Structures are given as structure tokens and as C-alpha cells.
Structure 1
């Protein structure tokens, strides 16, 4: 397990704001959580492409347990706008701090990497940039445009921050027509003050609803972490809230504690309970649901996008 004093490229602590917090207990992971260490030749090739283009990936920054599997398929989730986040969420391992200025060459560098990796589907995420007037909305637009120009056959999924108090930002990004617009609610409303203190639950919900108002053809997607202390009833209520906002795709995965200074794992949710969440969510009308201990927002995103389009077509066929 990493510590809050681990540095970002040897320059500064990752989580200085958490250094004085008391240690939280670390639960032993059950067998269904354990994954193999990365190391295949394709994994190494993917890592080299990422490094050669000076890119940051959320796979590494967030300590994703699926990195070995995904990078062995050349699936890397690009994290734009730097590696320092202006928020300090209790669950997240992305470094907190004052970000550097935006890199004007980043959109083209991301597009080159997408082309070189030969991606049919790419996921682009970012840190929160509360320091920018538009929260980084125009940078998302520039990245989408660069990918469209260099890899026109690649479908684009974005996983954005909440653009809280950034008027017009949501609309600007939606008008760039990503194929999937993802923004994670992360947890239930009751836990926002302790887990996601810089965010507002109903603003995040409204963000996704607003995307559909701007362009109903864009798929919307959101994710939840289980095991933070939420109840089953609260998870089901969030599902209802999501459907009221016309969200198409729901992901639910197990929260894993990055360091002893981060929020503690309340419990490890069993695979059977995740399966029951998926069954219930499907009855509520989501086009697609991915619910398992190792589910993450961009896990199997390329395959899921194909299934998402097929589900929409099947739904439209029933209405004809």
C-alpha cells in the first residue's frame, strides 16, 4: 500500500492534506478481489507509448487493480489537465495540489497515442480543475477534436469532473458530441460530506440530466462505489435518482482503500450482492449495467460501448 508521503514524480507529497489524519484500519482483501501483477509484453508496449507521449493515465494515478488486464489489451484511460487535483476526496489516490498550467500540446499528444495504440474506443478523464474559469471544459473539447481529426473511427468516452459553479461548461463539452458522457456520483448523498466534500450530489445528477437535454443521442453513464458504509436501500434510491435523470449506463464496483489516511473500507461486498444490484438496476430501465467487485468506470469500456449501442437499438425496435 502506498502512503500519503509518496511523491508525484519525486517532487511533492501526493496527499499533504491527509498527512495529519489518524490511520484507518485496512481490511484484508477477500479472494475475489485479488488480481495478478502486470507484466505481459503488450503491457510493457502500452506503458512505453504512454511514456513516449508524456501522458498521464488514471490507471496509474488512481492505482486501478485492473491495470494489468487492460494495458495487456492496449486499453489505457488518459487523464488530461495534469496530475494534481484541486479537490481532496477521501476515497481518491490522485494527487492533491495546485495544478500546473494546461499543456497546449496535450490534445495532439493524446490523439497521437490513441492512433498509435489503434484504439476503437478511448476513455478520457481528468483531474478537477477548480482553478480554471471553465473547469477545463474547452480543453476537453480540444482533446475530442484532436482525436476526431487523427482517429475518426475511434469512439470517445469522457469521464469529467462536475464543473461545479462553471456556467456553460457542461453545455460546451456536450456540444462537442462525445459518444459517451460519464460523470460518477461515486456514493450515496448521506456520505458526500465525508467522502466527496467538494461536490454536491444533486449538481452531479443534474449535470448528466443536462447532457441529455443538450443532445439526447449522447449516452450518459455514472458509477458508484460500494463498501463505504452505504445501505442497500440507499444504493437503490440512487438508482432511481439516476433513472429520473435518464442515465443510460450504471457501473458499481468495490471501494478499495489507497492508503491508511484515506476513508476506510466499511465492508467487502460479495459478488452475489453485486449481481443482485445488477438485476435490480436492469429492471429499473438502465440500458446497461456493470456491477462486480472489480468493476471500474472504464473497465471493458470498449466492449461495453458495443453492448450499449446494441441495447439502444433493441429498445428502439420494441418501440416501433
Structure 2
């Protein structure tokens, strides 16, 4: 994507500009969604815009934005809209981020209160430029939401805090209701799909949450359709369970542009159903697996199911 500013082109993904185009597969019927037109969508958009907020729904081009925003479910993206990494699957802008806005936590909390959210998901760009990776900003957002909307349960979807010397512990100690960090893909594909991350570091981050606060729910997600095998996905499930992860999401990877990683294939809904059955057999408390599943899709309803599953498991 190119925007002209002061007569000069500004590229959304400058690091991808010179890459060769990748092929684009035609989407099957089960992956198609309608354009959003509802009144609820417009109301959510107005609240987001009036508070000067960024949502991952918009930045990542989520296919579920129409359904979620109609229900006034928006996933807030904090720490700006420019990421310091260049994952080949992601549509968020890459570049040098602006300084952290200290007023953002309060504005996010006001939006949560105005929307009347029972459950909110907070995510962010990667901020490798910050000493703490943005950890204390996450803490501030959690604290402000709890002041403005005490009854709202809070789910965070964090970066990996790679090489941030334990700052993630401050986020864990803020006690969000759900601590989510996505593994995204199988280890073999990390170099091409998620080159700035390290698979086993991400596993250890989620394991550290459980060791530090056993009552905190942990969650992680995978994309499929990137060339992974069923056996590799099952191995990731085992790694997740070894780290004590409670909730697994699996969704279809969708290619944002021809400069991004190509979709190798569209996984059939029956395969997603099989993945869900396997994951439940491996001991996950909650599994959401479908072509349109995303980390925050139906997050509020799924959190209630997750909590009920733990109560049932504990007798």
C-alpha cells in the first residue's frame, strides 16, 4: 500500500517493496464475508475515531470486523500503529515508531467504558526500540481500564518481549484475566514467516506466566495454510500443553498483499474440526478452530466458556 505525503510516496511496508509478487489463490466460498454496513459498526467506528485509537481490526485487515464491530467488540492496539518488525504475514505498518503517548491508557479505558464492554482485548505492535518493550504501557492500560470499568475482564495479546530482561513479569503481575501471545506458525517456518521472533522464547514466555501466576489463563494462536504439515501442528499443540497453555485458536492465514507470504492452500472446515478434536483430546480447556478464527474473535463468549471449563475440570 502506498500513500502520497507532501508529494512523496510513503510505503506501508517499505521492507517488502522490492520483493517479488507472490501468487494469490482464489478464496473458497467458506472464507468470504460481507462488507460491514450496520449501525452498530458505525457507532463503534465513531467511538474509536473520537478517542484517536488504533485497532488491530483495521490495521491487520481482519475479515471479522463487520461482525465484531456490529456487536461493539473492538480489539485495541496500543503503543502506536507502526511495528519495529517485519513479519511476512502481517499487514501492520513497519518502520520507526513515534514516541509512546502517555494519554493512551486513559483514552482506551474511556472507550471501553463507553462501549460497555464486558470483555476487552488489548494488543500492540512490537516495540523493540523501548527498553521494556512496552511492558509498563500494558500495565498502565490494564490499571486504567480497571478504574474506568471495574466489571470488564481484560485479555491482553502481547509481543514476545524478546531480550527485554524480565520486563514481562510486570505485565504478568498486573494480573490480566487472559495472557495471550501467539506462536503464529510451526518452528520450521519461523525464518520466513516470523523472522524477528524465536519459537522457544515464545513458548517460554507463556510457560513463565503459568509459573508466576498459575491462576492466570494463557492463550496462543496458530495460522494454517502456510505450508505446515498436520504432524507439525500436532507437535506445536504438545509444546503448548507442556507450557500449560489453556486456550488454543487456529485460523486460516489470509494474504494481505502480493508482497506478503503466499497462501499455500485454503484449509477445509472439516480439517479445522479435526484439529479442534485433537486439541481437546490433548487437554486444552478451550479450543477455537475455524477458517475465520482470529485471536480476539468471539473472545468474550469464549472467555466465559474457558472459565466454565476450568470450574468443571476442578470439580
TM-score, length-normalised on structure 2? 0.98
**Separation of aligned partners in 2, 1:87 and 1:38:** 30
**Separation of aligned partners in 2, 1:121 and 1:42:** 17
Candidates 22, 35, 46, aligned match of 2:33: 35
How far is the alpha carbon of 1:86 from its aligned partner? 0.1
Candidates 66, 69, 82, aligned match of 1:68: 66
**Separation of aligned partners in 2, 1:197 and 1:106:** 29
Label 1:6 to 1:201 Cα distance change in 2 as closer, same or farther (>3 A): farther
Contact 1:43 1:72 survives alignment (8 Å): yes
Partner residue, 1:90 = 88
| Structure 2: gaps (5+ residues) | none
Partner residue, 1:199 = 197
**Separation of aligned partners in 1, 2:256 and 2:3:** 12
Candidates 230, 249, 252, aligned match of 1:251: 249
Q: CA RMSD in A?
A: 1.1
Which portions of structure 1, spanning 4 or more consecutive aligned residues, are displaced by more than 6 angstroms?
none
TM-score, length-normalised on structure 1? 0.97
The aligned runs of 1:1-320 (5 Å cut-off) are: 3=1, 5-6=2-3, 12-317=10-315
**Separation of aligned partners in 1, 2:185 and 2:3:** 26
Label 1:16 to 1:184 Cα distance change in 2 as closer, same or farther (>3 A): same
**Separation of aligned partners in 2, 1:82 and 1:171:** 22
SS of corresponding position for 1:12:
strand
**Separation of aligned partners in 2, 1:234 and 1:306:** 30
Contact 1:91 1:195 survives alignment (8 Å): yes
Contact 2:3 2:9 survives alignment (8 Å): no
**Separation of aligned partners in 1, 2:123 and 2:287:** 20
